[in-house]
Structure 1
Amino acid sequence: MSHEMSHMGPRAFNHDNSSDAEAEYDRLRDLARQEAAKRGQCFGRSKEAYSSGDGAGAKQLSEEGKAHGRKMEEYNKQASEFIFRENNSNGRVAADTIDLHGQFVEEAEEILEERIKYAKQHGQNHLHVIVGKGNHSANHIQKIKPRVEQVCQELGLQYATEDNAGRIYINLTGGEAVMPPSTGHHAPQQGHGGYPGQQQGYQGHQGQQGHQQGHQQGHQQGHQQQQQQQPDEIEEFAKKMLPKVLRKLEKACCVVM
């Protein structure tokens, strides 16, 4: 497992982020890198002390290294939670979508596994996963996508790369990963020709139009309400599941997309 932490910068965000958000994310990852370096130094000095016969000094340095390791994990935990909220809240993604930009590989794996469980518990039959195209990775190699595919294989779920190569569609029912046709398209309204009693028919058509307009308005209002509920669902997942996920990460994997 590689422990080289590269500077993420704006590439961690899947939207037009503020400079403050970018700076905060970088600050947390930088602090984690510093703690990782201090941990390595302590463990190296501990080995030297042990080799020279200073068992007490070796033990003390080892404990200091472990303390730096715990701080590293905490900063990475904060960074992971921060970038998750930034990329997934405030209506930035739909309720059936999760954005894994900015996560280390192990972080992404744990979050996805819990998100799949959460989706199934709430009756969702599919999930869109934003994994990134690897444009900012070394040699433009996608890191998150292979791990997402591995998780699907382990869970027995079929998946498919969407038209956007940075997205994966997962069928949560165990069936074939065929994306359903997009919904929301209304059938064209049929015109009415002239006939005796046309005025009455026209009034009837007006009534039908009014009914259709009311139905469309109700549909739009329902859609708007659903959009308003999406951040709440994501917030619920972030509050209940994300801390649990991050606590399970004993080590932060530093391979990024």
Structure 2
Amino acid sequence: MTTRPVALVTGASSGIGREFARQLAQRGHDLVLVARNEGRLREVADELKQSCAAESEVLVADLSDRPALQTVADRLGDAGRPVDVLVNNAGFALRRRFLRSELRDEEAAFDVLVRAVLVLSHAAGRAMSERHHGIIINVSSVAGFLPSGSYAAAKAWVTTFTEGLAAELDDTGVTVTALCPGFTHSEFQARAGLSTPGPDFMWLDPKDLVADCLRDVGRGKVVSVPGLQYKAIVGLLDIAPRPLMRRAAQIARRRR
């Protein structure tokens, strides 16, 4: 009997995370599905069972809660049940500017967007490097290339951290990739009560976005930016003077 590879996906109940789970199942993976909503996770598990014959373990966890986060980390480090792919995708929406937000909300966002990525990447990186095999995908954002508040700062950390971890794990058989999408059609905006800015051509489809990312992972790319429009934007941001970028961010905030 051939053992199927296993992928653990956080934020797997909807949006990009759900699409990662679907496409990894189509590629022959079983899943560990992580999110806060058990009912929605079981819906995903049933869907993947019916469409892909994939077995799914449902792991209910709020990643801003440290004991719950440790439970997920322990699952990644379980040598008896190895995880071959980790997708750090769990998100957290901040509706207000930093100084207008409640500090507890900012801290919860930090725990999900930064600390959870740190803890889970540490657990997975150790376990995978010992087996000389594995994939870590950290979902960042094009926002991380911009000086634009605490969410952008968290995503900038994710991208930089991923690049450093990729270098540390070089030649171990473990690859690490930061996915940096722009605006993406999903439930995230509606559930967070956020507007959907920008023209239609700036919006990405989750199915194409995940397929592009998995293709980049297969090519060993450390930073994956889906969509020609965002590749062009990131290319310009790489060469734009930081004072100019800060000025542009100030103007954008005044127009909100």
Question: Structure 1 length as normaliser, TM-score?
Answer: 0.30
Q: Which has the larger radius of gyration?
A: 1
Normalised by the length of structure 2, the TM-score is: 0.31
Could you say which structure has the greater relative contact order, defined with CA pairs below 8 angstroms and 6 or more residues apart?
1
Structure (1/2) with the larger helix percentage: 1
